[in-house]
Structure 1
Amino acid sequence: MFDKNDFKVFEDMTLPGRLGLIRANLDPKFEEIGVELMQRLETEYQQQFFMKIAKHQRRTQNPPPDTWLAINQDKRGYKKTPHVELGLWPDRYFITFSLLADIKNRPGYYPILKEYQDTIITEGWSVSNDHTSSEMVPASDIDKVIARYEKVKSSDLVIGYELKADDPIVQKGNYDQLLMDKFMQLSKLMVIFNKLQVES
């Protein structure tokens, strides 16, 4: 399904051109893998999940710098809830678990983050305070990332995995299973954070 040619959509520097390539070449792949991920999640957790594929409808001039699918556990929308995304920047695939700046009941997640920060380090994820940037830092810096998330209202909390376009895995092909496995692994955090927030 996914292959190294996916990144060619970003070579078109026009808004209509890139949107057309995303809709033709990437959205069908997101739809296919998203349905499979939803089935796996609902089988594993016996809970309901919801999927959204980015449509970039608010863009009027500049082409989107990235594109993605998101899965969460609230049918009203994913941005104000813990969610997991699978997407592409021009130079990498990304799979991220995010608590965005304007998430509902934000302070309730601070103690949960601290409780699970050792797990995040042990599992070798990368972390960030900005979901609009592709750059992430090693999980060993998670203390600083959590501290910023607590103090700076505009900051996000992002935990994730990236697979660079020039990685031998991508050049060789056949890595759908790797992406799905990473997505499922990160989804554990989504389910845990949703559950603990409801209980707190």
Structure 2
Amino acid sequence: MPKIKWTNKDFNVFQIDGLEQRMDALISCVRPKFQLLGEDFSSFFSSHLGEEFYPHVAKHARRTVNPPNDSWVAFAPYKRGYKSLPHFQIGLWSTHLFIVLAIIYEAPQKNVMAERLIANKAMLQQLPDDFIVSGDHMSPAAISLLEAKEDKLDELLVRLRDVKKGEFLVGRHIPRDQAVKLSASQLHQLTEETFSSLLPIYNIIVRK
């Protein structure tokens, strides 16, 4: 198990001005932790889901002006990419750590995935109350699952199905002030618990 602990220095990367300066800090400070988490949790998904999962650490290679506001490692059963598939992520905004399962707009079959989630909405509603849902992977905002269990959850799933840019994320957001207090073992346990809760939802999405 890698000894990964998030610090204020990691979160402060996203407050550095300038693309080059922020990217330098991201590469030196944050990315090595994502790489270690990628090695660890790709094995977790491979063993639990019965197919090989690959880690994808965000490179932000297409950026030429605006520095990234968040970064992550994603996990999917495809070596060359993850955006077209439902995928798991561990990542940071300046305000929080996120541990989520995501379907984003690049997924070509997201309408089918949405229908499967709608048909099994009760399983989403049974996730822990401190989970969140979101309809936009580009925004740090999210809604607590407890608040979303009725109308908002329906709204997000219907939008995922019917709107080209519709997305759906579910998992945990850990506020920065809480995340920096977690020991390496506490962080690993929380991450594994979150992903374990999300595995049945993933299996619904991909119909396993």
TM-score when normalising by structure 2 = 0.85
> Residue 180 of structure 2 aligns to which amino acid in structure 1?
V
1:154 and 2:165 matched: yes
Say which is worse superposed, 33-42 or 48-57, in terms of deviation: 33-42
Q: Determine which of 83, 107, 112 is the counterpart of 1:108.
A: 112
Residue in 1 that maps onto 2:206: 194
Say which is worse superposed, 54-63 or 34-43, in terms of deviation: 34-43
Residue-pair matches, total? 195
2:200, 2:36 → 1: CA distance? 21
> Could you list the runs of 5+ residues in structure 1 that have no partner in the other structure?
none
SS for the counterpart of 1:127 is strand
1:164, CA displacement in angstroms? 0.4
- Fraction of identical pairs, as percent: 27
Residue in 2 that maps onto 1:22: 26
1:54, CA displacement in angstroms? 0.2
**Alpha-carbon distance change, 188 to 38 in structure 1, aligned in 2, over 3 angstroms:** farther
1:172, CA displacement in angstroms? 5.2
The within-5 A match list for 1:80-159 is: 80-123=84-127, 124=129, 125-139=131-145, 140=149, 141-159=152-170
Residue in 1 that maps onto 2:14: 10
TM-score when normalising by structure 1 = 0.89
Residue in 1 that maps onto 2:37: 33
> Residue 157 of structure 2 aligns to which amino acid in structure 1?
I
SS for the counterpart of 1:185 is helix
Say which is worse superposed, 5-14 or 16-25, in terms of deviation: 5-14
> Residue 56 of structure 1 aligns to which amino acid in structure 2?
H
SS for the counterpart of 1:171 is coil
- CA deviations on 1:34-62 (whole Å, 9 max, x unpaired) are 11111122222331111100000011111
- Mapped contact 1:146–1:157 kept (Cα < 8 A): yes
